[in-house]
Amino acid sequence: MSPIKKATLLIKNIGQLITMEGDGPRRGPAMRELGMIEHGGVAVAGEEILAVGNSDDVEGKSPLAHGCKIIDAQGAVVTPGLIDAHTHPVFGMTREKEFEMRLEGKTYMEIAEAGGGIRASVRDLRETPAEILQEKTLRRYDRLLAHGITTIEAKSGYGLSTDAEIKSLKIIQDLHGHHPLEVIPTFLGAHEVPDEFRNKRDAYIDLIINEMIPAVTTEQLAEFSDVFCEEGVFSIEESRRIQQAAAKAGLKLKFHADELKDTGGAELAVSMNAISADHLMYISESGIRAMAQSNTVAVLLPGTSFSLGGKQYAPARRMIEAGVTVALSTDCNPGSSCTESLAMIVTLAALHLKMTAAESISAVTVNAAIASDRADRRGPLAPGTQADLVVWAMADYRELPYHYGVNLATRVIKRGKVVVGNTK
């Protein structure tokens, strides 16, 4: 007979407990279903949820372990830990000069053609010692965690050589276990064509396929492969060729798709059974239909449109009404979306994607878990799931998009331990 599990953490007097309980992705009207419990409580045993429900019931029925930590939420909102399904956290230099150039009228592509953009970050990352990159990445992890984000997908893509891509992915690997943030690594060697291959595109694609992917998979440095499938970057056929090699090597697939123009990237992602297609500002109606009939998640990144000063945002309402599984992400990166705040992204989703607060919470919890292939134990708060939670300084969950520009996360719990806000 197994011993009775006892609570090592109890959160009581929760004004609105957002459980997100339920099976499968949230699509269409189901994105507004939060599984909310008023005057809720959560008991945690070790790293997993023991009980959720009415505060008095959970407190009265959950045996407490010696030294159990008790948090009185005092009417605050509690949600699952947020999941950021598209980030680029390993980089050295920031690109605030390019931000100012855009304010002066330069386009993203004009800056890139002048030697800025992704290739500028590549030149810097190659020259920056790994220990300095690791220190800067850790600081970003701290900020992500402080904003209620407990799991991220993290891409390489600023190396664009075998050695530099391995360098980036090893930084992610080496930080595993040394920071509470849970990080899922993605290989993005096909982020851009580096300077030395500008007139040798096919040779660079061959390098990705024949050298980078085997090196990454041999050392087990990534779980996913991503490609920037876009006009002027990697074409549909080039992207297909790269991702076929990645899938054959055992990597799961993601796509940057239809960000600058409709190229059919969403349809390609669906046809290759990708976990997600991301950006999608210019997705076609056929792309929306294809995604609605598939398991591929649309990861929308309104911070990119906002930061670039663009007017084109992903057609989230049409996607949701069609039944596409929609997630949201920061796209944390030095060039087009320099932020570690998913709450700010939720505000942008409200204003520019016309998503409700409930839809956005679905998009940064259960749907983001699916986009990261972590739906087994992340996303909802239910007995047996991983105890990742956030206590927010608000009385109504709709404050999340409404009260912008500040961090309302007061306590962050990862694997049952308070990792942010442990003291008053």
DSSP states of 150-165? EEEEEE--S--SHHHH
Residue 46, phi-psi category: left (phi > 0), alpha (psi -120 to 50), beta (remainder): left
Give CA–CA dist 41/156, Å, rounded: 39
Model pLDDT for residues 69-78, shown as the tens digit of each residue: 999 999 999 9
CB atoms within 10 A of CB 87: 23
- The pair of three-digit structure tokens given for residue 233, joined into one six-digit string: 């970057």
Question: What is the full DSSP assignment across 351-397?
Answer: HHS---HHHHHHHTTHHHHHHTT-TTTSSS--TTSB--EEEES-SST
User: What's the pLDDT tens digit per position in 190-213?
Assistant: 999 999 998 999 999 999 999 999
CA 284 to chain centre: 23
Per-domain residue ranges of the chain: 7-80+379-420, 82-371
Nearest to 195 by CA among 128, 94, 120, 129: 120
**Was domain 82-371 assigned CATH 3.40.50.720?**
no
Measured between its terminal Cα atoms, the distance across the chain in Å is 40
Tokens of 254: 């993601």
pLDDT at 138: 98
C-alpha–C-alpha distance, residues 401 and 387, integer Å:
24
Positions of the chain with pLDDT under 70: 1-2, 422-424
Domain 7-80+379-420: CATH class, spelled out = mainly beta
Cα 296 → chain centroid: 15
